[in-house]
Chains A and B, each alone.
Chain A
Amino acid sequence: MNKTVEERERVVVRFAGDSGDGMQLAGGRFTDATAVLGNDLATLPDFPAEIRAPAGTIPGVSAFQIHFASRDILTPGDAPNVLVAMNPAALKANLPALPRGATIIVNEDAFTRRNLEKAGYPVSPLEDDTLAEFTVHRVPMTTLTARASEGLEGVGTRDAGRAKNLFALGLLSWLYDRPTDVTERWIEGKFASKPAAKAANLAAFRAGWSFGETTELLDVQYKILPATDVEPGTYRQVNGTTATALGLLAGSVRSGLPLLLASYPITPASELLHELSKHERLGVRTVQAEDEIAAAGVALGAAFGGHLGITSTSGPGMDLKAETIGLALMLELPMVIVDVQRAGPSTGLPTKTEQSDLLMAMYGRHGDAPLPIVAAQTPGDCFRSAFEAVQIAIERRTPVILLTDGFLANSSEPWRIPELSELPEIDPAFAKEIGAEERFLPYARDERGVRPWAPPGTPGLEHRIGGIEKQDGTGNISYDPANHQTMTRLRAEKVAKIADELPPLAVDDPDGDADVLVIGWGSTYGSIRAGVRRVRDRGLRVAQAHVRHISPLPSNIGEVLRAYDKVLVPEMNTGQLVKLLRAEFLVDCTPYNKVTGQPLYAAELEEAIVELIEAPTEVTA
């Protein structure tokens, strides 16, 4: 039949189902096809906290959202235009996020009495006016999937039953005209050794596609043209975890130091351990330690040995590492601590995102213990941030905290693969052997305040380091009061001097005449940019800046802050960067905070910015 084809600039689709329904897989495949098509995109998976919450219940709902467009986009989207709901619980859990007029595609077969009960629907929402404001398509996906694999050799009901996510994927792929070959190739590779599953999945995928093409249920197909406003280059899709792993690996290759990652499993940081464990060929060692304290110790031991020592964790694991980080700082050895932030305190919301470890990264150690902190901004940007963390750690002989978060770790976006020439060489500059008459001074410093790094093995450089305060230069134990003051200052200056070589904070203020500056850090980058764009689309002026280096802060940041009448600081915490900025620069800043475990949305930021623009400026005498 003849269908209308309409063009759309951008669409947000959310796949939702039971955690056993394979929604993450369907979403991931849709994303790949979308990436290959050349749309810009951003994704956000939303997992349940329990591994096996009872099937069909609301706690068991798993969702995956993708925002794709023919122009540069910044976030996974605030609200879906299309919801695919595989059962009543998925519908119920996601309904509040849907704007009026959105499209809902449900697996009609799953709306049984039992499932409705489990989701807490006394009456089927398909039968009453619950969904009156939406366009609803009822598709018997389970039946159609089963029918598609009828007669296929070796395919049992089990294989067929499991493939309904591929049916949904096929249907959505038709609806948005995604290339099918990418998905079919993937199915063939994935199930190469399981012919029955391969046949069932291919059949389900194709059946979904044909259903869209042939039935009258859906009468419009949408096209989203490839994005044109992207930087030339070779692209791939990455999530923040992969990008972090690649950035750390690039740091290892460019420094020539083999990478050791020591970690203890914890959500969402475990994924980085899994990812790096694959790369033994690139010299990677991973150690699953007995706890986070041990993991930090193992990484530090590797650093002492002249390797690239890295430890990764989330939430409570960060608390446990504090003492070892303090030791690394005192020893002045390189080490990278990757903190994939999650909602706290305590166990908090393990699968939900938050940026509430900033002050802990800054101050969460006893004593005056400053260290560099780098915060990644987008999934792809985790690469650059991780590389930079490695570079700073090695060149400055210091532990560096790399802050990412659950949102960055799990979301994906197209990422321009850097040319090798864009990755500078990192020189570990190990201390050289010295003559017999010379004396090695492990705490002598160069003009950047950096001490020599002499891993065991070099004759003549035998020396002892430790956590007790050291004498300036010799590194011997010293209880001298003046020396402690000196060493405290030298350690702080060493970190502060890093700012001399960092790029200044860039401000996006197109006409240079905005009164309001929005400044953020970390994963809110996309939402803030999107919010700012909306404000400008309304004809209002607003400037925007994003802090990548939390410590030391960029050298021009004070100037930037003072150049604006009002400063808005949106964060997914109760106000951490804002405290830092006020304390350091004595400027008033307006916080905007949210701790729901969800990312900030462009719409709420738009509102917050406009409100601040329109607020009367206080006149101080």
Chain B
Amino acid sequence: MSATLPLSNGNGADHRLTKADFQSDQETRWCPGCGDYAILNAVQTLMPDLGVPTEKTVFVTGIGCAGRFAYYMDTYGMHSIHGRAATIATGLATTREDLSIWVVSGDGDALSIGGNHLIHALRRNVPVKILLFNNQIYGLTKGQASPTSERGKITKSTPFGSLDKPFNPIALALGAEATFVARTLDRDRRHMTEVLRQAAEHRGASLVEIYQNCPVFNDGAFFNLTEKDTKVAAQIRLEHGQPIVFGPEEARRGVARAQDGGLELVDAVGNEQRLLVHDQHRDDPSLAFALARLADRPTEPTPIGIFRQVQRPVHGAAASENPGRAAGDLTALDGLLHAGDTWTVA
């Protein structure tokens, strides 16, 4: 009677997965030039390399332009409700340790309506990969300010400029005790692929903030970081074990400890001894936090890459013999029904 879940890998050993296996037949509906296309493309290209079959891969998404992502992946998927994808993914991850679970969310979805769920998924270290498409705007609802929109931003809902201090998603995730925190760019395919690969391999919750251009409502928000003329001077690429340096060869700069204990940008030449070496496995998150706050806006030199990657017990890791793996049997049920004092009436 017991229903067993179909857990087999149906793709025979002879079938090598390709990008096409991960592309659904649904027509993509994002605006032309939207950064979401590049992310979709990178994810679909990466998937075959991860060695997880399509039937064991699940995308759970929230609501927003980013939320449409689920429909375009030929895996299992759920396009859920605004802000709550992390909760649904938590339930799925708690019960199905055999799956590779991805959450796709926007800045409004993950940080506004779903902020509570995001921090708790990170705190619990739920084994899900959370991709936060940050375009610093509400795309789907046609251009209102989001919790990552800069102060003073004029939008339909803030005609006199947004008054509120924006969130820094990386700092927020670190504050929520996240074990994998990274930032990448929609317009840097190689960097994005590498970060996503590492996120996929992480045991526990991974948060990847992807700066994503919305050409319709917030065009060019990240161009300083992504366009040819400026990006070299603006991208601070974090590489594990390497000194944190950036900028053109002729004007190399780096990150060093300032006298007051904070971080400062210095000329790389002449300060070699002071340059910080990036250690993404540092247990103490304070340096990662300081790096996260190095740039207030993407118009300044901004760190990208993996800020932190540490090991911590994963949510749902078995505490007892049989937590949620198989339903009880009839004997156990009968025993439970008869627990305590019983009496018989003839």
Query: Residues on A close to B: CB < 8 A?
Result: 32, 35-36, 38, 182, 230-237, 246, 249-250, 252-260, 262, 279-285, 287, 289-291, 293-309, 323-324, 327, 331, 417-418, 420, 425, 427-428, 430, 433, 455-468, 476-477
Contacts and interface: CB of A to CB of B under 8 A. Distances in A.
B9 to A, nearest CB: 7
B90 A456 contact: no
Contacts of B13: none
Contacts of A308: 327
B8 interface: yes
A457 B95 CA distance: 13
Sorting the interface of chain B by its residue count into under 10, 10 to 19, 20 to 34 or 35 or more gives: 35 or more
Given A293-B87, A430-B5, A466 B79 contact: yes
Contact of A304 (B81, B88, B120, B322): B88
A443 B328 CA distance: 31
B341 A182 contact: yes
Contacts of A302: 91-92, 94-95
Contacts of A287: 90-91, 94
Contacts of A477: 26, 71
A457 B54 contact: no
B345 interface: yes
A331 B75 CA distance: 17
Interface in B307-346: 316, 319-330, 332-334, 336-346
Contact of A466 (B80, B90, B95, B322): B80
B205 interface: no
A425 B4 CA distance: 14
Given A297-B90, A301-B89, A459-B11, A283 B96 contact: no
Contact of B95 (A258, A293, A331, A418): A258
A250 B329 CA distance: 9
A457 B7 contact: yes
A323 B58 CA distance: 22
B276 interface: no
Contacts of B330: 253, 420
Interface of B: 1-11, 24, 26, 53-58, 60, 63, 70-71, 73-81, 84, 86-96, 98-99, 116-117, 120, 316, 319-330, 332-334, 336-346
B79 A285 contact: no
Given A301-B87, A420-B334, A456-B96, A256 B3 contact: yes
B338 A236 contact: yes
Given A427-B3, A462-B74, A464-B71, A304 B345 contact: no
Contacts of B10: 433, 458-460
A418 B337 CA distance: 8
Given A246-B337, A280-B320, 5 more contacts: A257-B3, A294-B84, A301-B94, A462-B55, A464-B26
B332 A253 contact: yes
7 contacts: A253-B332, A257-B327, A294-B84, A430-B5, A433-B10, A463-B76, A464-B76
Contacts of B327: 252-253, 255-259, 282-283, 308
B322 A281 contact: yes
Contacts of A182: 341
A235 B88 contact: no
Contacts of A246: 336-337
A584 to B, nearest CB: 30
Contact of A430 (B6, B71, B93): B6
Nearest to B97: A305
Contacts of A32: 341
B345 A457 contact: no
A293 B89 CA distance: 13
B117 A254 contact: no
Contacts of A250: 333, 337
B94 A294 contact: no
A407 to B, nearest CB: 22
Given A36-B343, A282-B327, A467-B79, A305 B99 contact: yes
Nearest to B59: A464
A256 B3 CA distance: 5
A236 B342 contact: yes
B99 A283 contact: no
From A235, A290, A306, A464, residue with most partner B Cβ within 10 Å: A464
From B95, B321, B325, residue with most partner A Cβ within 10 Å: B95
A299 B91 contact: yes
Given A258-B326, A331-B78, A417-B337, A457 B87 contact: no
A294 B90 contact: yes
A281 B5 contact: no
A260 B333 contact: no
Contacts of A466: 70-71, 77-80
